[in-house]
């Protein structure tokens, strides 16, 4: 597997793994790619609907201010805060940053006093330079038409931030014992993100943004439905490449009717990013380059350091039995859902919101189905043992069905 770019480049170009490119984690890169994919598709659909007259422009007054706004000074100050707080620490502890960049960036580690000094300096510099520029030119006012697709950058940022917050909240709620033991550490840890938490958090954030700018919800929801399906598939590519533990239970032999390659059915995930000696539900071993005796005796500070010392690579574990390649199953399913939604998007425009509710049905069915291949905690709900994801998926299916009926009937009444 490819926990970071150095392992991918090793297979492609023959370069050494665990070099400086290891700071670029595969899952993180694919997560960013998924967000950009959704933004591109959404932008395309919003522009198309604007040309049809479905979306109207918001008249916005732009004023050239004499000095920087408070928001501009805060954003630049925040950049200085991060720069001073984190960069010197990263330079001095690059090995730790290689192991878990998210943990370093989201923790309190670093030089906070230097960060505060640089934050003040950046904020003052922003104020001073804009004040000087404003003194040389007279203020100007301009009224422009702003369409939803002109706000795609703002929408993407809102969705990303609220989605990550939601994903983190759902992830820590899933492990209450760890949350109670270390609440601050769990929230600030760079690990642990729940897919449905991201979906719900992003939905609430974007819904607030749409209301703020008076953008029609249902046409927007129809525009984003195909984008969500394809971006989910792209995100699952990151799960598969990194081997992040979203795989399934131990796989049975592929059935006789299986016509796809064996690797699409099951994997043992060598060099997976989990790098765990004892993952619940699976037996793990060491890759071929390892010295097992060394691993038993080594006293390294971290499992990555132990792997490096005894195996020559920082990620040295492999599952002893192949498991279902559930990320690949979801990539295929989500790509198929995208294709269906893309084909239907024009035909269902007579009922705004219908396409989005159909997406909810597809998404719920897909996720409910895939959970049967995974090892997750289950809860008794009305006599049924369901995972947290299956409970949410059931809710999405019900909402999707009811919403589809209501939107279809309303379109018939107004026709």
Annotated domain spans of the chain? 65-139, 269-320
pLDDT of amino acid 190: 45
Contact at 8 Å (CB) between 17 and 6?
yes
Task: Tell me the whole-structure pTM to 2 decimals.
Answer: 0.83
Cα–Cα distance measured from residue 226 to residue 335, given in angstroms and rounded to the nearest whole number: 9
Q: Which residues of the chain have pLDDT under 70?
A: 63-66, 137-140, 172-194, 277-283, 415
Cα–Cα distance measured from residue 37 to residue 232, given in angstroms and rounded to the nearest whole number: 10
Contact at 8 Å (CB) between 324 and 247?
yes
204-253 residue pLDDT tens:
999 999 999 999 999 999 999 999 999 999 999 999 999 988 899 999 99
Please state, as a whole number, how many other Cβ atoms lie within 10 Å of the Cβ of residue 414: 8
- Encode burial over 304-321: b for 16+ CB neighbours within 10 A, e otherwise: bebbbbbbebbbbbbbee
65: three-class secondary structure by DSSP: coil
pLDDT of amino acid 276: 76
Decide: residue 164, CB within 10 A, 0-12 exposed, 13-18 middle, 19+ buried: middle
Query: In 52-194, which residue ranges form alpha helices assigned H by DSSP?
Result: 70-92, 94-99, 101-106, 112-136, 152-174, 176-181, 183-188
Going by C-alpha positions, the residue among 4, 28, 1, 7 that lies closest to residue 312 is 7
Going by C-alpha positions, the residue among 279, 278, 277, 273 that lies closest to residue 306 is 277
The CA-atom distances, in angstroms, between 279 and each of 172, 244, 263, 341, 412 are: 18, 11, 22, 37, 54
Contact at 8 Å (CB) between 63 and 141?
yes
Cα–Cα distance measured from residue 199 to residue 389, given in angstroms and rounded to the nearest whole number: 12
Angle between helices 152-174 and 195-212 (to 10 degrees): 140
């Amino acid at each position: 597997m490819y926990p970071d770019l150095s392992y991918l480049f090793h297979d492609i170009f023959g370069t050494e793994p665990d070099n400086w490119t290891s700071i670029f984690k595969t899952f993180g890169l694919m997560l960013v790619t998924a967000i950009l994919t959704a933004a591109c598709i959404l932008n395309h659909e919003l522009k198309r609907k604007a040309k049809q007259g479905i979306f109207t422009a918001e008249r916005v007054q732009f004023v050239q201010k004499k000095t920087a706004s408070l928001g501009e000074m805060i954003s630049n100050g925040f950049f200085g805060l991060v720069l001073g707080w984190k960069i010197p620490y990263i330079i001095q502890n690059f090995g730790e940053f290689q192991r878990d960049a998210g943990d370093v960036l989201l923790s309190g580690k670093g030089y906070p006093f230097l960060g505060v000094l640089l934050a003040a300096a950046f904020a003052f510099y922003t104020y001073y330079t804009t004040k000087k520029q404003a003194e040389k030119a007279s203020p100007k006012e301009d009224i422009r038409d702003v369409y939803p697709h002109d706000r795609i950058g703002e929408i993407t940022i809102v969705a990303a931030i609220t989605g990550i917050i939601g994903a983190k909240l759902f992830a820590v709620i899933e492990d209450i014992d760890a949350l109670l033991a270390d609440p601050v550490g769990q929230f600030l840890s760079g690990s642990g993100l729940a897919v449905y938490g991201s979906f719900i958090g992003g939905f609430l954030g974007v819904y607030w943004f749409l209301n703020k700018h008076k953008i029609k919800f249902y046409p927007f929801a129809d525009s984003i439905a195909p984008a969500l399906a394809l971006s989910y598939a792209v995100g699952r590519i990151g799960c598969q490449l990194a081997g992040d533990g979203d795989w399934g239970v131990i796989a049975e032999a592929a059935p006789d009717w299986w016509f796809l390659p064996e690797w699409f059915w099951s994997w043992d995930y060598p060099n997976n990013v989990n790098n765990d000696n004892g993952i619940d539900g699976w037996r793990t071993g060491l890759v071929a380059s390892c010295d097992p005796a060394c691993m038993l005796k080594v006293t390294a500070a971290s499992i990555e350091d132990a792997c490096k010392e005894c195996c020559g690579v920082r990620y040295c574990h492999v599952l002893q039995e192949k498991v279902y390649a559930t990320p690949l199953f979801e990539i295929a399913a989500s790509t198929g859902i995208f294709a269906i939604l893309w084909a239907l998007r024009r035909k269902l425009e007579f009922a705004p919101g219908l396409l989005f509710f159909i997406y909810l049905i597809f998404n719920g069915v897909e996720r409910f189905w895939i959970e049967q291949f995974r090892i997750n905690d289950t809860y008794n709900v009305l006599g049924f043992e369901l995972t947290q994801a299956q409970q949410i998926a059931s809710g999405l299916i019900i909402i999707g069905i009811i919403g589809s009926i209501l939107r279809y009937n309303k379109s018939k009444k107004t026709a």
